[in-house]
Amino acid sequence: MTISSGESTLPVGANPGRPAGSPSLAEALRSGRLVRAAGAHSALTASLVEQAGMDAVWASSFEISAARCLPDASLLTMTEYLTVAAEMQKCCSIPVVADVDTGFGGTMNVAHMVREYESRGITAVCMEDKLFPKMNSFVAAPHCLLPTEEFCRKLEVAKAVQREKDFHLIARTEALISGQPVTEALERCRRYADAGADSVLVHSKDRTNRQVLEFLAGWDERVPVVIVPTTYPDWHADDARRAGISMVIYANHGLRAMIRSTLDVLRTIREEGSTVPVEDEIASINDVFRLQHLDQWRKVSE
């Protein structure tokens, strides 16, 4: 049911999926332009990603874990990650791409994950080929990979149980993170595409884009390629698109900006004894009201 008042329409008791008419990630990728996503860890930060003009929200397991002051090490449950991703999608008209780590277990867990995420309006998930429990890719620790055959089986199951034709499965290889050569990343991604993955994400923590360019030189373009350029930030989006990249994920920059800016503001207030020095640097209360859609909510009671 919807309650309309003037120019505003609020969903009341609606199915908790994505807003009607909002594009899926598959639709965005079919446009042929570079899709840019940014990380978020709450409905509020997802709204900011959309306001910034990004094409998609990355429901980052790193950010969601950090918001709980926990490491990104498979500590949270599927339900905890799903709850946050679904809250993001309810407030955004751009697709949310859910980082589902290793799929939360074996093939039955993967099947359950796809059904549950679909039912909450999520149109895309990204699953990686590490062993459970995983550790964040940028931690100096062993990063063990699942055998290719086993990960392919997870991908096959995920695609077999999906209900929505535009549900998009990104297969992420951590081969380069684990110290394997580019040839291993290529072989795995070819197998993942054959197993049904709709896109592949080749992850690298090299300080340049060298490994990714080498990957692209050997890639046969059977499915789109996604990157996360956290450690090679100087690769301009336009240059990445010309090189053959279809989607770029700025996975954690919002979180890192929030930590730095919040700490600076609070320290200034403590040191200066008032909020005057920071008033021009922070959002207004009205900015918060706009993010809350307060005007539309108030019209419901008129």
The domains of the chain are located at 23-252
What residue has token string 């920059």?
253
29-39 residue pLDDT tens: 999 999 999 99
> CATH topology for 23-252?
TIM Barrel (3.20.20)
Backbone angles phi, psi at 2, to 5 degrees: -125, 145
* Residue corresponding to tokens 């199951």: 157
- For residue range 118-171, list pLDDT tens digits in order: 999 999 999 999 999 999 999 989 999 999 999 999 999 999 999 999 999 999
Percent of the chain having pLDDT more than 70?
Answer: 93
Catalytic residue ranges: 72
The backbone torsions φ and ψ at residue 200, rounded to the nearest 5 degrees and listed phi first, read -125, 145
Largest CA distance in the chain: 64
DSSP per residue over 29-59, as a string?
A: HHT-SPEEEEEESSHHHHHHHHHTT-SEEEE
Closest CA to 143 of 101, 114, 108: 101
Confirm if 54 and 38 have CB atoms less than 8 A apart. Answer: yes
Q: How much is the pLDDT for 195?
A: 98
Share of the chain above pLDDT 90, in %: 91
Identify residue 114 by its one-letter amino acid code.
V
Strands (DSSP E) contained in 104-165 are: 124-128
Give the pTM. 0.92
